[in-house]
Each structure stands twice: as C-alpha cells, then as structure tokens.
C-alpha cells in the first residue's frame, strides 16, 4: 500500500483517536487500551513500510501521549511529588541519557585540561582559584590541616551559604542552555578547570589523599549534581538547535519543561551536599579512614544509582506493563491490523 493511501485510509480514525484520548476525559481505561493497541499496530506497519516517513513521528508521539493518558487514569498511590521523583524524572533521564553521557564526557575532558594546565603553568592555580584562597590553603597545609578552610564559620551558616551558592551555580548551568548549550558548556568548563587545578594543588603539596577523604565527602553529590544540571542545559540547547518536526518555539517549550524537571531533581542532592559540607567535612581530619571513605562511597552510590541504574529499572517496568496491555487485548477481534479491519 502506498503511504498516501495508508494515511487516507486511517486519517479519520487517527483524528477520532486524538479526540477520544485528549479531549474526552471520561473515556474508559479499557477502551483507551484497545485504542492504544490499534495505534501501535498502525505504527508498526508504518515503521515496516515507510521507515523514513514523518508519519512514524506523528504516530509515535501520539502513542506515547496515549500511554501516559492510560496510566494517568489509574488511581495514584502516592502524591505528585513522590511520583515526580519516583517515576517521571527517571523516565526522562533514561530517554535523554545520551545528554548525560555528553555532560560527563565534557566533565572529564575539562577536568583533565585543568590538571594539565596546573601541571605545566605555575600561575594557573592562582589564576583560577585566586591568590587569597591559594595562600590560605598553603598555610593550612603547612599547619597540618589541608581542609581547614571548611571549618570557618558556623555549621548552619556554612550549610545555608554553601547550599545557596551551589543552587545558584546549578541554575546558571541549566539556564545557560538557552544559548544553544554554549552557556552550559562554558559554566561547566569554568567549574571543571577549578576542580582540576584545585585537586592538583593538593597533589603538588603531597596531601592529595587528605584532600580526597575530606573534600569528597560533600563533593560527590555536589559535583555529580553539577554534571546533571549540565545535562539539563544541553537538553535545553538541543531543543533550540534541533527542533525536528516541531516549530522552534514549540520545541523550546518542550525542552524547557523537560530540562527544568531534570534540574529540579538535583536540588535535594545539592541540599544534602551543602549539609555535609557544613556539618561533616569540617571533622574529616579526625575521622577514621573507614568512616570518611564510607560516606564518600555511600553518597556516590546513592546519586549514581538514581541517575544511572534506577532509570533503567523504571523503564523496564514500564515496558513490561506495556507488553501486558498488548497481551491483554491481543485476542480481541475489534482492532485494526496493518491498516485494515480484522473483524
């Protein structure tokens, strides 16, 4: 069948389907599922015979929105906030995971540049960290307490100040995506250069391990969150540069909505990092190694699980439920297969 004939034959059905799915809030969930199966069959047919057609994009988008509608009709066992972190964000992270890989690739390259620059340019560390910070840290190293700078100020004051600053940096990192992602890359570049130079400074003065067991108590979640915020910024930038079948404005709106949700998901981790920096890091020099390393591995494990492993688990569970819907209605003769009625 020619694509034009396929579209003509199914156009009215698809329009009716859109009406029932998106304009009729009282549609029965079982009826929705049957309609969803019809649409999936049309999509499979289009993918087989018209692999480069825009019809596939239309049907795929329609199917995705329909499936979301099916699950929205189910009674939620938890409130919106729990659902947001438990299901919505992990699915978005899985769908856009390539941007997370891009962000981590930029992160490691930029940190490496910072390390190499500090290694071969004696003035580079002072250039990116400032004379005051470097001088204070050198004095602390000589006094036998390399991370003493984290002991200044009160616990709660440090926690609040650090958290606000980290949230501000994260927001700029995310919003930088409106410049086609270049703003995000620039902010990530700045922070990574500082991190690379910072760690090399401790390596240079033979207190690298002391810095790691102290600074990374809060640094694992803080730095990881910055990378995820960069991921959000890259998604926003891509929505502007590559609108695909959407208008640029519509693509931007969708990109802003998606990237904002991912950015919001980092806020709890940023707050926890601020708490650890204000209340725990200052005591790292008197902690036994097993405790400081344990905290580092625990925080790294939690945030890595949430953004790397858990999204795959949520997606796999959703795919399993989708297959269950297909199997449930596969014996019904009242649906269309490959653009024709099997009734």
Q: What share of the chain is helix, strand, coil (3-state, %, to 5)?
A: 85, 0, 15
At residue 32, the pLDDT reads 67
- Shared domain for 177 and 216, answered yes or no, is yes
Within-domain flag for 135: yes
Q: How many structural domains comprise the chain?
A: 2
DSSP string, 201-250: HHHHTT-HHHHHHHHHHHHHHHHHHHHHHHHHHHHHHHHHH--TTS-HHH
At residue 42, the pLDDT reads 82
At residue 174, the pLDDT reads 96
Within-domain flag for 332: no
Within-domain flag for 336: no
Contact between residue 129 and residue 197 where contact means Cβ atoms under 8 Å apart: yes
Q: Which domain holds residue 130?
A: 84-315
- Shared domain for 31 and 105, answered yes or no, is no
Within-domain flag for 337: no
At residue 343, the pLDDT reads 37
Question: 234-281, pLDDT tens digit by residue?
Answer: 999 999 999 987 889 999 999 999 999 999 999 999 999 999 988 888
Quote the CA–CA distance of 322 and 46 in Å, as a whole number: 20
The last residue of one of the domains, among 75, 107, 137, is: 75
At residue 153, the pLDDT reads 61
Report the candidate in 223, 221, 212, 210 with the shortest Cα–Cα distance to residue 275.
221
Q: Which residues of the chain have pLDDT under 70?
A: 21-34, 67-78, 152-154, 157-158, 322-343
- Shared domain for 67 and 136, answered yes or no, is no
61 φ, ψ (degrees, to nearest 5)? -65, -40
At residue 333, the pLDDT reads 37
- Shared domain for 187 and 296, answered yes or no, is yes
- Shared domain for 23 and 97, answered yes or no, is no
- Shared domain for 169 and 215, answered yes or no, is yes
Within-domain flag for 334: no
CA–centroid distance for 341 within its chain: 42
The last residue of one of the domains, among 75, 96, 124, is: 75
- Shared domain for 129 and 243, answered yes or no, is yes
Within-domain flag for 328: no
Reduced to 3 states, what is the DSSP secondary structure of residue 96? Answer: coil
At residue 332, the pLDDT reads 42
Within-domain flag for 218: yes
| pTM exceeds 0.85 | no
Residue partners of 117: CB distance under 8 A and separation at least 6: 124, 193, 196, 197
Within-domain flag for 47: yes
At residue 22, the pLDDT reads 64
């Amino acid at each position: 069948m020619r694509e034009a004939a396929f579209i003509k034959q199914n156009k009215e059905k698809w329009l009716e389907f859109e009406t029932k799915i998106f304009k009729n809030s009282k549609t029965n969930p079982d009826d929705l599922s049957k309609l969803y199966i019809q649409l999936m069959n049309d999509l499979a047919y289009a993918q087989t015979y018209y692999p480069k057609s825009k019809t596939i994009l239309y049907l795929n988008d329609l199917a995705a929105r329909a499936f979301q509608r099916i699950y929205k009709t189910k009674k939620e066992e938890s409130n919106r906030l729990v659902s947001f972190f438990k299901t919505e964000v992990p699915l978005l992270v899985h769908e856009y995971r390539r941007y997370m890989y891009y962000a981590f690739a930029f992160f490691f390259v930029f940190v490496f540049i910072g390390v190499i620059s500090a290694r071969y340019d004696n003035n580079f560390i002072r250039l990116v960290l400032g004379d005051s910070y470097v001088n204070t840290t050198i004095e602390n190293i000589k006094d036998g307490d390399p991370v003493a700078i984290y002991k200044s100020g009160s616990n709660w004051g440090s926690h609040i100040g650090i958290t606000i600053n980290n949230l501000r940096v994260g927001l700029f990192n995310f919003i930088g995506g409106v410049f086609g992602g270049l703003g995000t890359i620039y902010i990530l570049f700045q922070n990574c250069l500082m991190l690379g130079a910072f760690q090399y400074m401790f390596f240079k003065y033979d207190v690298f391990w002391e810095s790691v067991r102290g600074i990374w108590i809060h640094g694992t979640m803080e730095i990881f969150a910055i990378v995820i915020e960069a991921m959000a910024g890259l998604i926003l930038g891509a929505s502007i540069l590559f609108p695909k079948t959407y208008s640029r404005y519509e693509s931007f709106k969708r990109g802003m909505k998606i990237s904002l949700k991912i950015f919001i998901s980092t806020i709890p981790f940023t707050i926890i990092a601020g708490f650890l920096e204000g209340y725990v890091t200052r005591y790292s020099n008197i902690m036994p190694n097993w405790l400081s390393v344990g905290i580092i591995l625990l925080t790294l494990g939690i945030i890595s699980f949430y953004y790397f492993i858990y999204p795959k688990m949520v997606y796999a569970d959703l795919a399993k439920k989708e297959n269950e819907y297909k199997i449930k209605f596969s014996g019904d003769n009242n649906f269309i297969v490959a653009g024709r009625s099997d009734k």
